[in-house]
Amino acid sequence: MNQNTFEKLQFNELKELVKSYCVSDLGKEMLEKQQPSTQLNVVKHRLAETTEARKILDTDSHVPLLGTSNIAHMIDKLEKGIILEPSELVGFADFLRGCRKIKTFMRDKEFFAPLLCSYAHSITEFSAIEETIHFSIKGAHVDSQASKELKRIRSHLKATEEKIEERLTKFLKSSANKEYIQDFFISKKDDRYTIPIKASYKNHVAGTIVEVSSKGSTVFIEPAAITKLSMKLATLRSDEAIEEYQILATLSGMIVEEIHAIKINIDAISQYDMIFAKGKYSKSINGIAPRLNQHGYLKLVECTHPLLPGDTVPLNFEIGKNFRSLVITGPNAGGKTIVLKTIGIVALATMCGYHSRADQSTEVAIFDQIFVDIGDNQSIENALSTFSSHVKNISEIMRAATNNTLLLFDEIGSGTEPTEGSALAIAILEEFYHMGCITVSTTHYGEIKRYSEIHPDFMNAAMQFNNETLSPMYKLVIGQSGESNALWISKKMNLHDNVLQRAADYMRNKEYNLNPIRENKKRKAIERASQQADTYEYEVGDKVKLREYDDFGIVYKKKDNANNLTVLYKGEFIEVNYKRVSLELTAIELYPKGYDVNTLFTSYQSHKLQKDLERGSKKAYKQIQKEIRDRK
């Protein structure tokens, strides 16, 4: 399988989803490395593992895999001769305990999970190493009980530290030293016990200056009274470090002696974590293990894409028995591409041992290769057009395909002139058919549908479309061809019936109406307006084109002495020179005989005044008051 197939079918996303059910990096690494197998026996084995894991999880949801952290880096350190730190040894002991627990857990599961139980036989228990580590290390530190010598050294260390603190306390309480001391407490600097002394009295106190404060006002002095005790303390600490190192080396050596068996444990635990992750995923989707075959037969029953919600319309699909090539048609956004992706990702998932969300009667073929050509493959770097990139991809597929290859093509032949695209797509499908491939393709081209209808080993299928609600039903029906529904949708969008009828006629007989238009009312009106531009007397109600605005208005007042017209335009009365307008339609053409055009403007003015009053316009109130005064 190639990476393009994984990306286009979103298989890597599915793998990440299954990996999320692992409890350790060991399982995640193994799951990441596992590729779809093209061997029937291997796939059967993987599905059997997942099925047994699912059975165990259905009866006992808690599998003791906690504590099985990734210890690969610790193994690397040990093989390089590096001694493990206390915390690393504790982690190793936890891993060995996890191995022991999973081995015990699997002992009574042999009746319904014999395969997974057999893996536990390879796990070796290391109780002695586990117990020794936990006895010797407490709280990520070597415990005093780890050896008699370490216990003796730490006993002397404690006694020496107590003597030092006793003498320093006596130093602090002495009245003779009171004047020299900056702060009355014992300070530890670089594992040496000191007293904070005023810098001005540093020569008055016998001892060694260990540190000076940042401002220089305080010096930290180790008094001479504890010098011998400090030297003894340093020697004891050195002895302690040597003894701790020897203990860690002994514990690390115990692991190295069993490194081969421990590596087998690591492989077994990694395997268990990966398999139970598949089982947990199966349980989360209520998945099933599909039946298998090697002769290209695919039958998906009530199957849904693993990355889509559980309430997605399930897919019923079949190929490889009565026909070997399927051509799917139907409207855009009708689910054709999802059908292709569902077929492909279910095949890949099965080859990895993942269960699928489908009916028990689902059957999946094991293919040598799965190739896809889905989406826009346009390459900016190579300056390839969409069509060219599709052809380049198909060319590469053609060179690599075998007689046991699954091919998934979305909108085959698209991106170029339809006649050529259809012919090329048919030739490509025919070539893959002769090569023995199983092919599923989608198209809008009628020629491809017609070819599929007459070829004995090809079959049409359609994505159902609800013509009443104008919505796709996402349901595949094999044995019938679908339409793009362009005319139906256009009719629902109230496109003129005569346009739809002509389109339907053109689809049937390709006889186009090529008669030129002899008369055009609008053109005649424009010509008339142009001829009358200098002589026509504009009347109230005429529809005119305002050249400055490239829009239309209605004449409100005829020309005044300055040759300006008053025109109602977008709710405003504007003055325009008559040479800046052209006649579109006369008032006689616009309104019926006897119609009072002034009512247009009166009703408009009244409506505008009402609106201005409602919003509290002072100008409108002043106008009302003026009209009242005029009437008096």
DSSP 377-438: ---TTTT--HHHHHHHHHHHHHHH--TTEEEEESSTT-SS-HHHHHHHHHHHHHHHHHHT-E
Predicted confidence at residue 627, as pLDDT, reads 62
How many Cβ atoms sit within 10 Å of the Cβ of residue 360? 10
CB contact at 8 A, 588 and 574: no
Rounded to two decimals, what is the model's pTM?
Answer: 0.71
- What single-letter amino acid sits at 389? S
pLDDT over 80 at 614, yes or no: no
Q: How far apart are CA 306 and CA 18, in angstroms?
A: 11
DSSP 517-553: P---HHHHHHHHHHHTTTT----TT-EEEETTTTEEE
pLDDT at 470: 54
Single out the residue of 368, 362, 372 nearest to residue 37, CA to CA: 368
Higher pLDDT, 478 or 530: 478
pLDDT tens for each residue of 154-195: 999 999 999 999 998 888 888 888 888 888 888 888 888 998
Classify residue 302 as left (phi > 0), alpha (psi -120 to 50) or beta: left
Nearest one of 126, 87, 99 to 248, comparing CA atoms: 87
Helix, strand, coil % in the chain, rounded to nearest 5: 50, 20, 30
Whole-number pLDDT of residue 379: 43
Q: In the predicted model, is pLDDT for residue 380 greater than 50?
A: no
Backbone φ and ψ for 366, nearest 5 degrees, come out as: -95, 115
Which residues have CB under 8 Å from 268's CB, separation 6+?
A: 99, 119, 120, 122, 123
Mean pLDDT of 486-503: 73
Contacts for 38 with CB less than 8 Å, ≥ 6 apart: 351, 366, 367, 368, 369
The contacts of residue 477 (CB under 8 Å, 6+ apart) are 461, 462, 463, 464
State the pLDDT confidence band at 233, using cuts at 50, 70 and 90: very high
pLDDT tens for each residue of 37-67: 999 999 999 999 999 999 999 987 688 887 6
Question: What pLDDT does residue 53 have?
Answer: 96
pLDDT in tens, 402-418: 999 999 999 888 877 88
The SS3 of residue 223 is strand
- Judge whether residue 593 has pLDDT over 80: no
Quick: pLDDT tens for 417-440: 888 888 999 999 999 999 999 999
Q: How far apart are CA 519 and CA 497, in angstroms?
A: 22
**pLDDT digit string (tens) for 456-493?**
999 999 887 666 665 566 788 888 765 556 666 677 66
| Confidence label for 320 from pLDDT (cuts 50, 70 and 90) | very high
Which pLDDT belongs to residue 310?
Answer: 79
The average confidence (pLDDT) of the chain is 86
Is the pLDDT at 363 greater than 90? The verdict is: yes
- Residues 538-562: tens digit of each pLDDT: 888 888 888 888 889 988 888 888 8
Mutual angle of helices 86-106 and 227-257, in 10-degree steps = 30
The better pLDDT of the pair 35, 621 is held by: 35
534/536 Cα distance (integer angstroms): 6
Band the pLDDT of 214: cuts 50, 70, 90: confident
- Alpha-carbon gap, residue 309 to 560, rounded angstroms: 73
Query: Nearest Cα to 620, choosing from 631, 610, 630?
Result: 610
CA angle 262, 60, 306 (to 5 degrees): 90
Query: Does 615 have pLDDT greater than 50?
Result: yes
CA proximity to 78, closest of 262, 240, 265, 241:
262
> CB of 583 within 8 A of CB of 538?
yes
Cα(177)–Cα(205) distance, integer angstroms = 8
Rounded to whole angstroms, the Cα distance separating 619 from 584 reads: 35
Token digits for 422?
């259809």
